Amino acid sequence: MTILEPGKVTLETLAAIHRGGLSPRLSPAARAGVDRAADMVAAAAAGTEAVYGVNTGFGKLASVKIAPGDTTALQRNLILSHCCGVGDPLDEAKTRLMMTLKLLSLGRGASGVRWQVIALIEDMLEAGVIPVIPSQGSVGASGDLAPLAHMAAAMIGEGEVVHRGQRQPSGAALAEAGLTPVVLGPKEGLGLINGTQFSTACALVALFDALRLVETCAVTASLSTDAIMGSTAPLLAEIHALRGHAGQIDMAATMRRIMDGSEIRESHREGDSRVQDPYCIRCQPQVAGAALDVLRTAARTLQIEANAVTDNPLVLVDEGRIVSGGNFHAEYTGFAADQIALAVAEIGAISQRRVALMVDPTLSFDLPPFLTPDPGLNSGFMIAEVTTAALMSENKHLANPCVTDSTPTSANQEDHVSMAAHGALRLARMNRNLSVILGVELMCAAQGVEARAPLSTSPALQQVIASLRNTVPTLREDRYLAPDIEAAAQLVRDGAIADVAGARFAL
């Protein structure tokens, strides 16, 4: 069990919950604030003054006053009417993270829900009763309404969940797990579906995955540099200190360490007719380091958002007020997702150019054409390079910003939206594309380094090649390459290549 203190949860903890399937619970210390806010909402519901979301309709219907006896039906109707999501379901790990983020938001004591609502989310996570969340339907304001409505529906015994590996009706799964559906009180439905937790969960997972890919690109770039017998002079610490960007400094330092001890590098320090390497070799720290810093910027935003209260209205207990605001607007998450997209696209762009460099005999410094020992009869990595070009181009297209694509909804009441949801969702596809690009670079660079025998690469990179060769053998003659490409990409996605080389960056 992982105990969370609302407002103070780190990205490391959230990554562990996502990857490790941990069952989070809020610190018991959060209960007092939650109870105070819930008491305020209960008092407002019993009163005569109109309070949005407590005893009124929603959105454009906010001016419609709801009788005290209808507040329970109001919340149930809200959930059911907003279950309009479509598309493939979110995977269980992301859904668990989304539920965790909702716990953190509700636990701040500004949403007005009762503790039993929070406890049910905790119990569902522990019992593995995971709502089926359609991935499409949110425009990122007022929060992720449709996806979160599907989560809330599961809590009231409606909709579907996955339990013990089976997709089934929520009511049956809750009963099987010994849990009781909640009957929502005033504002509780609104508290559950207002918020940015769907978009933020998807963006966080993409951030965690993109960091692994940046770490791996430090390894593949180092291996490619040795494969084409490139210079390590551009990695000198003094160069990067003069510019001063942390990501660039970190990337260069990691590459220097990984390449230390390479016989290939030492063999051409003298007498090399080349003056400078192409930018894809020489400027790796500047490009991938900049991408690392962009990810760090996005990480700061997403850590704040993960701990934020993002529903509406908010219960300001110390002031004794329930106030409508706009914290549900997911612009921050949308911007962070667009930043991650740009970083992922650029890492892929420079990696792809290194692949193109290695397969081109006019540029690769005497490597065989397309890295095959018998060119002509064999095509080697010719079409693998084309695949990387296709994926690089696709990622460039997907990197176009989403936050600029607002459109009015809900009869113009919600007239500017963030589009954070699909901005974050598209990152999973982009990361998968990048893993393939890096996987192909890994295969080509390993093949290139092996062609330099009897000279050897650095000890760290020798271990990287050995790790690859456990699943992907050297390409001696043409064979069916698709499984090899996927195997290399999986090593990249799992972080295995970065782990072997000890490539690690902090967000």
Q: Where are the alpha helices (H) located in 360-406, listed in sequence order?
A: 382-398
Q: 273, exposed or middle or buried, with CB in 10 Å at 0-12, 13-18, 19+?
A: exposed
Contacts 24+ apart (CB under 8 A), 255-258: 255/218, 255/221, 255/222, 255/225, 255/284, 255/285, 256/232, 257/460, 257/502, 258/218, 258/219, 258/222, 258/458, 258/460, 258/461, 258/501, 258/502, 258/503
Q: Which residues contact 168 (CB under 8 A, 6 or more apart)?
A: 160, 161, 162
Residue type, 196: T
In our burial notation (b when 16+ CB lie closer than 10 A, e otherwise), range 149-167 reads bbbbbbbbbbbbbbbeeee
Whether 52 is catalytic is yes
CA angle 167–169–172, rounded 5-degree value: 110
Q: 72, exposed or middle or buried, with CB in 10 Å at 0-12, 13-18, 19+?
A: middle
* Calpha distance 153→483 (Å, rounded): 41
Half-sphere exposure of 15 (CA within 13 A, CB side): 15
| DSSP letter assigned to residue 361 | T
First to last CA, the chain: 25
CA nearest to 229, candidates 270, 257, 287: 270
Residue type, 210: A
CA nearest to 301, candidates 434, 403, 399: 403
CA nearest to 325, candidates 60, 124, 143, 87: 143
**Maximum Cα–Cα distance across the chain:** 89
Residue type, 415: D
In our burial notation (b when 16+ CB lie closer than 10 A, e otherwise), range 339-376 reads bbbbbbbbbbbbbbbbbbbbbeeeebbebbbbbbeeee
Q: Which residues contact 38 (CB under 8 A, 6 or more apart)?
A: 112, 113, 114, 115, 185
Residues noted as catalytic: 52
